[in-house]
Amino acid sequence: MEIPAIQLDARGLEPPQPMMKILEAVATVPAGATLIAYTDRQPLLLYPLLEQRGFTYETTTQPDGSHVTQIRHR
């Protein structure tokens, strides 16, 4: 049984709110699940924090300039 992805829309928020919301959410992500975070900016400052917490990530830039980051347990 596949675990559904968890969606988190952090667009429209002023920094550091998107990063804070994403970090709160990853703390609750079950093993095997993916958190999909939508942000206005590429979350560069988030990456080292995710690595410290044992997560991998992949960010893609969308045609409108926003970003989608898929976050999983390592």
For residue range 38-63, list pLDDT tens digits in order.
999 999 999 999 999 999 999 999 99
Q: What's the mean pLDDT in 6-29?
A: 96
pLDDT higher for 15 or 3? 15
The C-alpha atoms of residue 64 and residue 70 are separated, in whole angstroms, by 18
Q: Which two tokens stand for residue 54?
A: 């044992």
Query: Could you give the domains of the chain?
Result: 12-73 (3.30.110.40)
Residue 1: the pLDDT is 67
Using CB atoms within 10 Å of the CB of residue 49, give its burial: 0 to 12 exposed, 13 to 18 middle, 19+ buried.
middle
